[in-house]
């Protein structure tokens, strides 16, 4: 049994089944991380198959696989179309994206992703970017902060939270994860503090990395890159991500705006393979608690634009 020290691939078998791999096909892993999903895809490819992987995190690039069928691209997945054209790949057989942050990013304290370790308030997935979470909590005005926490964390007390951060930073700059947790602790429900902290950090992480806009940009490119019969497999970890994926598969757009043809059929480039999202088994959750919130959806590219 293979061990994964950098990141345990979530819902690995379900993802592979969703891709419905053609051994001679061309596949894309948009979130390479520790390479767990990529390794498993390569095991199912013949000598003629190809796998292109993306990751913007320099730490992940160090995990590149030594395989002539494999190419790792150090770039954001929003550039999937442009990068694949550089490799003369205009159509592929399958695209996979595991949207969760990696175990390595959480466990490496200096990245600031963990609420359990005192570290610089960073939260950048790509450290080439300049904006950090500390910049947000120290410079955004109250209304901007309220919008972030209400929109990206769906917190009912987002106004109180924004007000408290603005008042506290006047006394002392907020530079570390523990600085922030000390400020927000009184606003968390007793016994559910960790869940509250996780939501606050999620909101900041989404803002730092422009995650939802980037996800939309990527999703909207996939239909034109997939061959007819090609599969799109997306693993999401919170409702904001899952909603975009669900809307895309249902309607072909991330707003979920449904259009129908003359016969009343929904116009979409995808046939929905998973009517309800797949979730991790109880056994997987026991072995990897971070898979608890994962939802996996699969769409198959169809011709003619109708969602059968």
Q: Any idea what the CATH number is for the domain that residue 252 is in?
A: 3.40.50.150
Q: What is the pLDDT of residue 26?
A: 98
pTM equals 0.88
Confidence of residue 3 (pLDDT cuts 50, 70, 90): very low
Residue 307 has pLDDT above 60, yes or no: no
Whether residues 227 and 185 fall in one domain: no
Determine contact, residues 269/305, Cβ cutoff 8 Å: yes
Evaluate whether residue 158 is within a structural domain. Answer: yes
115-141: average pLDDT: 86
Please name every residue paired with 231 in a beta bridge, in sequence order, or none if there are none. Answer: 94, 300
Q: Where are the beta strands (DSSP E) in 138-260?
A: 226-236
How far does CA 37 lie from the centroid of its chain? 14
Residues 6+ apart with CB under 8 A from 64: 35, 70, 72
**How many domains does the structure of the chain reveal?**
2
- Is 307 inside any structural domain? no
Say what the pLDDT of residue 304 is.
Answer: 54
- 197 and 268 in a single domain? The answer is no
- Same-domain pairing of 69 and 205: no
**Taking 60 as the threshold, does the pLDDT of residue 34 lie above it?**
yes
- Residue 84 inside a domain? The answer is yes
Model confidence band, residue 71 (pLDDT cutoffs 50, 70, 90): very high
* Residue 169 within a domain: yes
CATH of the domain at 176: 1.10.150.170
Q: Using CA atoms, how far apart are residues 87 and 71, in angstroms rounded to an integer?
A: 10
Residues 190, 254 within the same domain: no
Least confident of 68-82, 137-151, 203-217, 254-268: 254-268
Q: Is the pLDDT of residue 102 over 60?
A: no
Hey, is 218 helix, strand or coil? helix
* Domain hosting residue 200, numbered range: 115-121+128-209
111: pLDDT strictly greater than 90: no
Domain co-membership, 140 together with 24: no
Of 174, 209, 244, the position where a domain reaches its end is 209
Specify which of 51-60, 159-168, 262-271 reaches the highest per-range mean pLDDT.
Answer: 159-168
Question: Under the phi-then-psi rule, with left for phi > 0, alpha for psi from -120 to 50, and beta for the rest, what region is 46?
Answer: beta
End-to-end CA distance of the chain: 39
Same-domain pairing of 16 and 98 = yes
Same domain? 194 vs 217: no
**Are residues 159 and 231 part of one domain?**
no
Residues 180 and 48 in one domain: no
Say whether both 177 and 32 belong to one domain.
no
């Amino acid at each position: 049994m293979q061990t994964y020290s950098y990141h345990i691939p979530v819902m690995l078998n379900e993802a592979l089944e969703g891709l419905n791999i053609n051994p001679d096909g061309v596949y894309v892993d948009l979130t390479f991380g520790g390479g767990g999903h990529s390794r498993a895809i390569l095991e199912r490819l013949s000598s003629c198959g190809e796998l292109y992987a993306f990751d913007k995190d320099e730490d992940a690039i160090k995990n590149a696989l030594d395989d002539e069928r494999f190419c790792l691209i150090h770039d954001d997945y929003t550039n999937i179309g442009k990068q694949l054209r550089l490799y003369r790949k205009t159509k592929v057989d399958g695209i996979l994206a595991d949207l969760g942050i990696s175990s390595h990013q959480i466990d490496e304290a200096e990245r600031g992703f963990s609420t359990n370790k005192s570290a610089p308030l960073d939260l950048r997935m790509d450290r080439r970017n300049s904006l950090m979470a500390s910049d947000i909590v120290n410079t955004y005005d109250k209304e901007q902060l309220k919008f972030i926490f209400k929109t990206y964390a769906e917190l009912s007390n987002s106004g109180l939270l924004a007000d408290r951060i603005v008042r506290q930073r006047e006394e002392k700059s907020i530079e570390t994860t523990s600085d922030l947790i000390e400020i927000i602790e009184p606003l968390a429900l007793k016994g559910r503090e960790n869940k509250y902290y996780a939501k606050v950090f999620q909101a900041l992480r989404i803002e730092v990395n422009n995650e939802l806009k980037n996800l939309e940009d990527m999703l909207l490119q996939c239909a034109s890159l997939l061959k007819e019969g090609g599969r799109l497999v997306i693993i999401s970890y919170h409702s904001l991500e899952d909603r975009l994926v669900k809307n895309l598969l249902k309607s072909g757009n991330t707003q979920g705006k449904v259009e129908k043809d003359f016969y009343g059929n929904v116009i979409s480039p995808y046939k929905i393979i998973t009517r309800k999202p797949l979730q991790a088994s109880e056994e997987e959750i026991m072995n990897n608690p971070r898979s608890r919130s994962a939802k996996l959806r699969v769409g198959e590219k169809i011709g003619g634009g109708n969602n059968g």
